[in-house]
Structure 1
């Protein structure tokens, strides 16, 4: 089963946090501290951190691993929060194990494949090896607003995920496609994106909002893919509001239809 960290296990509602590629469950430490009125569960996802031995094959299998963890908690359906890779995995959890999730908040993912050239795929493939360098990993983390260098490495400076895992995840993310069947996802879901994110992610917001029966989309003005790290207070406020069914923060920008 996936390794995980938890806090405040006696709280009534549980949030399961799903991290981005290259990190592990430690990235949610600040969010868990701010959301101390929830039981916060922060797993290391397959191929990452202390779950490194669990191979990444696809996002469906990864979602099944999360489902196993959620089932082991033995409580009511959980709230789900995902960033980037965590959003892809979380979305597949809604499709495959909807009974386990009460509501969800996902940020930084697209609903259909991103078209890139063979050359670009090759460059992305080559860049995965750069993550073996601690200096490059820390540079990547800072670009996402994460300033704690310890979050991108394990003990002894080893990367949280191998270059092979990073290549696999990049490929799966580029090819991710849930454009057909959105109507079947009935979980109450909030999808978010920073205003300066990749166009494919931004264009997915109205499609997800109109395609899913209980989906709301919002844009975070002026920020990018790592807005959760640069605006932790806003993120915590957003999660608390959504999971407690209260009005969302006014700073979030509504998404209009295509």
Structure 2
């Protein structure tokens, strides 16, 4: 069972937040503080934080764990918000448990495998061991806009996720392939990306928007993968607008269909 934090307000809508690899549910603290008109549920995903004992096998199994959490909280169908790893898991949740989600916002992921060389995969493997260093973890967090060093470590300075978990997540993300599933996703979904994200993530936006029946894609100008930490106000405004079916905030760039 996943560990989770949540607001106690008994609001009409519930948002379940799914964090990026290497972090845990605490990364959503600022967003939850601004979305007091929602019941905010922030789990630590498999292999992370206080859910470290939940094994990481694949994104389908992770979506099973999130589905179990939604049933446990008893607030379904929910609104869903995901970043990076959380978006991969969230997409699989839409595909496998559509009755549990009424609306979704995902940022920082792609729909087809990312082609990388064997050398690059080796470098990624090596970098996973570097995350055992608190200094390196904090440097990584700052590079994507997360300036609170406590968010990348547990008490005593231990990493939120093991090197083995980080390697597994990286491999699953590189090989993620849901192009054949897009047409089957009926859930209203907003897919976002920072303007300076990896080209594979940016090029996926038109495919999501054209391929999914009820999908809108937007680009956050001038920002990158961790834009939710850099612009928490904009992130909260975007979630509230999408989940309440209101106009999206100005400043988000539209995406042409594929």
What residue number does 1:174 align with?
174
Give CA deviations for 1:5-43 in whole Å, capped at 9, x if unaligned.
Answer: 000340110000000000000000000000011000000
The structural deviation recorded for 1:156 is: 0.5
CA distance, structure 1, for counterparts of residue 188 and residue 206 of structure 2: 16
Equivalent runs, 1:214-233 vs 2, <5 Å: 214-233=214-233
Kindly indicate whether the alpha-carbon contact (under 8 Å) linking 2:19 and 2:83 is maintained by their aligned counterparts in 1: yes
- Once the two structures are superposed, the pairs formed by residues 48-197 of structure 1 within 5 Å of their partners are 48-197=48-197
Distance 1:219 1:25 in 2: 24
Q: CA RMSD in A?
A: 0.6
Once residues 74 and 146 of structure 2 are traced to their aligned partners in structure 1, the CA distance between those partners, rounded to angstroms, is: 33
Q: Distance in 1 between matches of 2:75 and 2:229?
A: 29
Q: Residues of 2 paired with 1:219 and 1:158: CA distance? A: 34
Instruction: Measure, in 2, the Cα distance between the counterparts of 1:223 and 1:176.
Output: 24
Compute the displacement of 1:257 (Å). Answer: 1.7
**1:47 paired residue number:** 47
In 1, distance between residues paired with 2:46 and 2:109?
A: 18
Instruction: After superposition, give the CA deviation of every residue in 1:84-132 in whole Å (9 maximum; x if it has no partner).
Output: 0000000000001000000000000000000000111011011100000
Tell me the equivalent position of 1:15.
Answer: 15
Per the alignment, in what secondary structure is the counterpart of residue 181 of structure 1?
Answer: helix
1:76: Cα distance to partner?
3.4
Distance 1:186 1:35 in 2: 25
Deviation, 1:181, is 2.1
Counterpart secondary structure, 1:248: coil
CA distance in 2, matches of 1:212, 1:235: 22
Alpha-carbon contact 2:95-2:181 (below 8 Å) kept: no
SS in 2 for 1:224: coil
Instruction: Verify the 8 A CA contact 1:111 1:178 in the aligned structure 2.
Output: yes
Displacement after TM superposition at 1:144 (Å): 1.2
The SS at the match of 2:180 is coil
Match of 2:241 in 1: 241
Partners of 2:78 and 2:101 within 8 A in 1: yes
TM-score calculated relative to the size of structure 1: 0.99
What is the count of residue pairs matched by the alignment? Answer: 258
TM-score by length of 2: 0.99
> Is the Cα contact below 8 Å between 1:8 and 1:38 reproduced in 2?
no
Gaps of at least 5 residues in structure 2 are: none
